[in-house]
Amino acid sequence: MKYLDSLVRGVFAKRDIPKGLVISHDNFDEFFYMAIPLLKGQLSCREIKNGEMILKDIKADDPLTIDDIDSPYSRIESLKKSIYDRGM
């Protein structure tokens, strides 16, 4: 499992992102990019969804973490724990 996690791309901020931004298919490429490695607590390319809202300002090139968005993943403790336990 650790080997597979090492191949998953994490979501990073392409530029400074303001609190309150709603992530959508239309603005994803403007604000985000995906790259390896996946860091502990970081959202992967499989977990980012349309309609999620950014909860705090994010600086360019920072990873997008589970604590940065309003998401079903951030409200379910078992999912949140698994996101924090995987990655580098």
Pair 45, 9: CB distance under 8 Å: yes
Structure tokens, 63: 């990873």
**8/22: higher pLDDT:** 22
> Over pLDDT 70: what percentage of the chain?
94
Whole-number pLDDT of residue 1? 67
| DSSP secondary structure, 4-69, as one string | HHTTSPEEEESS-B-TTPBP-TTTHHHHEEEESPPPTTBPBTTT--TT-EE-S-B-TT-B-BGGGE
Domains and CATH numbers, the chain: 2-85 (3.90.1210.10)
Let me know how long the chain is: 88
Whole-number pLDDT of residue 17? 98
| pLDDT tens profile 27-36 | 999 999 999 9
Mean predicted confidence (pLDDT) in 42-58: 92
Distance from C-alpha of 78 to C-alpha of 51, rounded to nearest angstrom:
22
Whole-number pLDDT of residue 70? 92
